């Protein structure tokens, strides 16, 4: 049995395999409500065979959206639209489904990537952004307003309210977005948090308050995970040692898994992107904090994914672009390792053993 296709338990959940569809913004919502695009997207991901699919960064307030097209869980309309999409997912697979919950902070009010990905211009309905300190993400970005302590209390409430909506929709897992330079990570990073109050002297304070409040309302038998950064890739920024200290606190709160990512705190960081370039961070957090971790970042080959798990560098592998590129990635990996997996019955005849008159594998693409 491969590690990749061995089950894993996260709280009361059992994932059939270690492959996770990484959260991916689709920028296709209307005032936070999932659209027809999401119905197709969730349907496609439900067929993937991945042990867990995590819905895109979904925002706890309207102002917390990155773009006008980002999903939210701040209204009854948002909740109803998402419940419909999840119902479609449930009609296809028994594999669990999770949702990432977050707030963009100073990176909010920006254009969708295919319209530029920059701060919204004056004629594009921009909005006032908020952050730990009034420091813009980069040149040309909005200057955020520093959050007051009252507003921070309100935001903890917004994270809890969104978590309760996710619970009502019936998600199996919630993942807190505390990475990639969004609000919770802005509090953690010295590059974005220059406060002099207790939220600056103890930069973990606000994200830990959010995580603890979410843990309190999220059922123990469903999984509560978090995505963190291991580094800002900048001198004077957040470091792997900080990530370990944070992970230890998160474990104490009762977080069930940690996805270890990096970067996106400031636009000018130099990131040494290469296959598996963040895996070492996952290994460090896993070993030094004693938590289940998920590795992510340029992992696209099943053999590579298997080696990471076999070497004890992670407990799960998250994939974003490789699975968008090939939503049948899991089927093909199972085939390569000789593992039998469940297909949606409507598609079951693509299994190599069922090709009529042939015991051979399905015809392969011709080499380019
Ligand atoms: C289209 C797209 C949307 C993304 N949206 C999110 C998101 O909502 N939340 C998040 O934490 N990361 C997001 N990411 C980052 C991915 O989850 C992943 O961490 C990153 O792409 C590296 O993995 P990969 O090399 O397998 O693509 C997104 C990536 C892509 C390509």
> Which among 19, 20, 21, 22 is the best mutation to test ligand 1's pocket, defined by most ligand atoms within 8 Å of the CB?
22
Residue having the nearest C-alpha atom to atom 18 of ligand 1: 320
DSSP string, 34-101: --HHHHHHHHHHHTS--SEEEEEEEESSSTT-SSTT-BB-SSHHHHHHHHHHHHHHHHH--S-EEEEE
CA-based nearest residue to 98, from 36, 175, 31: 175
In whole angstroms, what is the distance from residue 105 CA to residue 83 CA? 26
- DSSP H or E stretch at residue 240: helix 240-253
Q: How far is the CA of 1 from the centre of ligand 1 (A)?
A: 29
- Nearest-CA residue for atom 1 of ligand 1: 24
pLDDT at 301: 97
Q: How high is the pLDDT of residue 281?
A: 98
User: Quick check: 169 and 148 in contact, CB under 8 A?
Assistant: no
Asked if residue 313 has its Cβ within 6 Å of ligand 1, the reply is no
Query: Counting beta carbons within 10 angstroms of the beta carbon of residue 121, is it exposed (0 to 12), middle (13 to 18) or buried (19 or more)?
Result: exposed
The DSSP string of 149-215 is HHHHHHHHHHHHHHHHHHHHHT-SEEEEEE-TTSHHHHHH-TTT----SHHHHSTTHHHHHHHHHHH
Q: Which residues of 143-173 are buried (b: 16+ CB within 10 A; e: fewer)?
A: ebeebeeeebeebbebbbebbebbeebebbb
In the block, residue with structure tokens 């919502």: 29
The finding on whether 180 has its CB within 6 A of some atom of ligand 1 is yes
Contact 322, 329 (CB under 8 A): yes
Is 177 near ligand 1, meaning CB less than 6 Å away?
Answer: yes
Q: Is the CB of 227 under 6 A from ligand 1?
A: yes
**Of the candidates 286, 309, 305, the residue with the CA atom closest to the CA atom of residue 297:** 305
Please list the active-site residues.
182
* The dihedral formed by the CA atoms of 166, 170, 173 and 175, expressed in degrees to the nearest 10: -20
Place of tokens 């492959």: 19
Give me the pLDDT at residue 354, please: 75
Ligand 1 centroid distance, CA of 100 (Å): 11
pLDDT at 361: 59
The first and second tokens of residue 170, run together, are 């019936």
- Which residues in the chain land under pLDDT 70? 356-365
pTM across the whole model: 0.97
Name residue, tokens 């990096």: 262
pLDDT at residue 313 in the model: 98
Q: Of all atoms in ligand 1, which is nearest to the CA of residue 321?
A: 27
If one counts every other C-beta atom within 10 angstroms of the C-beta of residue 216, the result is: 11
The answer, yes or no, to whether any atom of ligand 1 lies below 6 A from the CB of 22, is yes
């Amino acid at each position: 049995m491969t590690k990749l296709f061995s089950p894993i338990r996260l709280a009361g959940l059992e994932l059939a395999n270690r492959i996770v569809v990484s959260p991916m913004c689709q920028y296709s919502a209307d005032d936070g409500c999932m659209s027809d695009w999401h119905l197709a997207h969730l349907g496609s991901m439900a067929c993937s065979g991945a042990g867990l699919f995590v819905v895109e960064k979904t925002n706890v307030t309207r102002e917390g959206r990155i773009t006008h097209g980002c999903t939210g869980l701040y209204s009854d309309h948002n909740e109803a639209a998402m419940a419909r999409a999840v119902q479609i997912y449930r009609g296809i697979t028994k594999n669990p489904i999770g949702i990432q919950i977050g707030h963009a902070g100073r990176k909010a009010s920006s254009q969708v990537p295919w319209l530029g990905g920059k701060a919204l211009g004056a004629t594009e309905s921009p909005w006032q952004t908020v952050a730990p300190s009034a420091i813009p993400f980069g040149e040309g970005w909005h200057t955020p307003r520093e959050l007051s302590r009252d507003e921070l209390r309100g935001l903890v409430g917004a994270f809890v309210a969104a978590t309760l909506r996710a619970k009502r929709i019936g998600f199996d897992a919630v993942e807190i977005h505390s990475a990639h330079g969004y609000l919770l990570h802005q509090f953690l990073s010295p590059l974005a948090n220059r406060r002099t109050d207790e939220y600056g002297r103890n930069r973990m304070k606000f994200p830990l308050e959010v995580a603890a409040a979410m843990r309190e309302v999220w059922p123990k038998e469903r999984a509560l995970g978090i995505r963190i950064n291991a580094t800002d890739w900048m001198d004077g920024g957040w470091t792997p040692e900080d990530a370990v200290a944070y992970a230890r606190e998160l474990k104490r709160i009762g977080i069930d898994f940690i996805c270890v990512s990096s970067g996106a705190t400031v636009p000018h960081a130099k990131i040494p992107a290469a296959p598996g370039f963040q895996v070492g961070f996952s290994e460090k957090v896993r070993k030094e904090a004693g938590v289940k971790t998920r590795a992510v970042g340029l992992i696209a080959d099943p053999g590579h994914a298997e080696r990471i798990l076999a070497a004890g560098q992670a407990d799960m592998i998250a994939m974003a672009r490789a699975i968008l590129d090939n939503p049948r990635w899991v089927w093909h990996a199972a085939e390569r390792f000789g593992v039998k997996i469940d297909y949606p019955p409507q598609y079951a005849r693509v299994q190599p053993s069922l090709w009529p008159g042939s015991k051979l594998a399905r015809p392969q693409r011709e080499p380019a």
